[in-house]
Amino acid sequence: MTFALKLGDVGKRYLKYEDVPLLLTRLRFRARTNRTDLWALKHVDLEAAPGDHLGVIGRNGSGKSTMLRILAGVTAPTEGFVSVKGRVAPLISVGVGFHPELTGRENVYVNGTILGLSRRELDRRFDQIVEFAELESFIDTPVKFYSSGMFVRLGFSVAVASRPDLLLVDEVLAVGDMAFQSKCFERMAQMKVDGTTIVLVSHNINAIRRTCTQVLVLHDGIPKFFGPTDEAISIYHNLVEATGDEIAGETADAGGSEFLALNLINSEGDPTNHVRSGEDVIFRFDGRFSRPVTDPDFTIRITTETGQLVYGTSSYGKASGHFAAGESMRFDVRLNCRLITGSYQAIVGIRVADEGWQAVPPMLDFFVSGKPLVKGVADLDASIEITRGVPGDEDGQATHEPATDEPATDEPATD
């Protein structure tokens, strides 16, 4: 069988930052090296045929970025081997290699060349690139004036125009607007037919589910599972829930307060990381003050995985009373989780007197499964009603026969 990419027992070791030799320590006569190995990846086997769409999921720090780097050929594995056939185009992060002072047009040429296109190929595909990115009227504007969405559109457009044999996709797609996202997914589906292998690295479960047939779950650099998407996603969710508890054990000091736990409680009263859209939930923060404080304020912010703030509120103005040193507190935020499908982060903060807001690490990652057909960020829980005829509009009334045989649907027939 021909393969498009193959990883055999790949391991990647990094030096921990504090062990990186400084000039002086290198020059010193008896340099003591207390190297600590940090294996970002270990024993990864992977094979994909042309046209396969692979997903790689895992928590932050699970080795996803290292995986991308190895597939891009940017870094070499410490052990094992990696083999990739054909042209690789990375679509990682927003507008890599774009120079802010250059116009969109100039950046297309520079970026296209970096991706391995010749001038002639770029000339030929230029209009197509611009059209796909929907940037006809901005193409001669320096990209520093572009919005992040425009950046991504142009970046994606150039990357796919390079007709890569292997397309590496990071979280980037989450940045573009919905319409463009669908367009990208359509394009990727088309590329699958053309035999392009795609590796999508993301914690956007939706994107993975939509694009990938096979998914690799990474945990602490070790592959936990490689197989069908649905199975992989449920394994991933279990992993996230299991490690969520570990995090709660850590402590962090902020504003004289000590972090004990941050939990998401579902409508049944159980801690979880996975809630339904429209569910009544509680974000419960437990902490302890290391010194006496009066009327501390609490805040909570919920962001999408791309960092967009969805909702934030605080207890400002509410007299919360006096806390003695060592006294613990519980901060419950009850809300109806009107979010669409996706992964989100919650972060809490504390403000004591006028010392400013202190974010209390770590954050809580959670997933929401929402209703189909809902788009955007928030589920405003609309009900749609369709009736015939507008009162007062005589011309618009159906006069011949009452059309009752077609039932009104409450779902729009889009997509």
Q: Are 364 and 404 in contact (CB under 8 A)?
A: no
Helix (H, G, I), strand (E, B) or coil at 89: strand
The candidate with the shortest Cα–Cα distance to 359, out of 345, 375, 373, is 345
Decide if residue 85 touches other proteins (CB under 8 A).
yes
Cβ proximity to other proteins, 107 vs 358, nearer residue: 107
Restricting to residues 366-385, name those near other proteins by CB under 8 A. none
List of residues 6+ apart from 406 with CB closer than 8 A: none
List of residues 6+ apart from 124 with CB closer than 8 A: none
Decide if residue 173 touches other proteins (CB under 8 A).
no
Decide if residue 18 touches other proteins (CB under 8 A).
no
Smallest separation, CB 102 to other proteins (Å): 7
Stretch of 94-102, 173-181, 205-213, 346-354 contacting other proteins, by CB under 8 A:
94-102
List of residues 6+ apart from 383 with CB closer than 8 A: 410
Among 76, 178, 189, 390, binds other proteins (CB under 8 A): 76
Decide if residue 14 touches other proteins (CB under 8 A).
yes
Cβ proximity to other proteins, 167 vs 293, nearer residue: 167
The token pair that represents 81 in the structure block: 């081997």
Stretch of 54-62, 71-79, 280-288, 290-298 contacting other proteins, by CB under 8 A:
71-79
Cβ proximity to other proteins, 110 vs 282, nearer residue: 110
Cβ proximity to other proteins, 115 vs 364, nearer residue: 115
Between strands 357-369 and 274-276, the pairing is parallel
Cβ proximity to other proteins, 106 vs 258, nearer residue: 106
Decide if residue 32 touches other proteins (CB under 8 A).
no
Stretch of 121-129, 172-180, 227-235, 294-302 contacting other proteins, by CB under 8 A:
121-129
Chain centre distance of CA 77: 25
Cβ proximity to other proteins, 10 vs 333, nearer residue: 10
Decide if residue 1 touches other proteins (CB under 8 A).
no
Q: Are 288 and 257 in contact (CB under 8 A)?
A: yes
Smallest separation, CB 221 to other proteins (Å): 14
Stretch of 73-81, 194-202, 310-318, 370-378 contacting other proteins, by CB under 8 A:
73-81
The amino acid present at 23, given as its one-letter code, is L
Query: Which residue bears the tokens 């805040």?
Result: 299
Cβ proximity to other proteins, 201 vs 339, nearer residue: 201
Decide if residue 117 touches other proteins (CB under 8 A).
yes
Cβ proximity to other proteins, 97 vs 361, nearer residue: 97
Measure the CA–CA gap between 176 and 191, rounded to whole angstroms: 19
Decide if residue 113 touches other proteins (CB under 8 A).
yes
The candidate with the shortest Cα–Cα distance to 205, out of 184, 227, 178, 233, is 233
List of residues 6+ apart from 307 with CB closer than 8 A: none
Decide if residue 115 touches other proteins (CB under 8 A).
yes
Among 1, 2, 18, 23, binds other proteins (CB under 8 A): 23
The amino acid present at 202, given as its one-letter code, is S
Q: Which helix (H) or strand (E) holds 183?
A: helix 178-193
List of residues 6+ apart from 45 with CB closer than 8 A: 7, 8, 9, 10, 223, 226
Burial of 149 (C-beta count, 10 Å sphere; 0-12/13-18/19+) = middle
Between strands 166-169 and 197-201, the pairing is parallel
Stretch of 15-23, 53-61, 191-199, 394-402 contacting other proteins, by CB under 8 A:
15-23
Restricting to residues 298-357, name those near other proteins by CB under 8 A. none
Which residues contact other proteins (rule: CB under 8 A)? 14-15, 20-23, 26, 69-70, 72-78, 80-90, 92-93, 96-97, 99, 101-103, 105-106, 109-110, 113-121, 123, 126, 140, 165
